[in-house]
Structure 1
Amino acid sequence: MTQATSPGEPAPPRGRRPAQIDAVINRAFALLGAFDPAHRVLSLADLTHL
């Protein structure tokens, strides 16, 4: 599946994600990494402090 771009807009380089995608992925891993055997349940307030 290819990503459509506007005319005149360069296509993103193949094999590279835009920087904002990397930030979202890093945030998701930080949220998942907050859970461990000692912290099996975390509140939303706990997660917002990460």
Structure 2
Amino acid sequence: MIKKTKESARRLRKGQSWKDNGLALTLVGAGSSLSLGLLIWSTTL
């Protein structure tokens, strides 16, 4: 996961299409919010 974010950040700096950047950022955001949600859910059980 961390390796993928580094790769997408590198691609972002290279100036790839905004669509790819948006998709990468969305995936990273979704992944982090999902893990955060699971963490909160597991502590409330």
TM-score range for the pair, normalised by the shorter chain length: 0.3 to 0.5
What is the TM-score with the length of structure 2 in the denominator? 0.44
Q: Which has the higher contact order (CA 8 A, sep 6+)?
A: 2
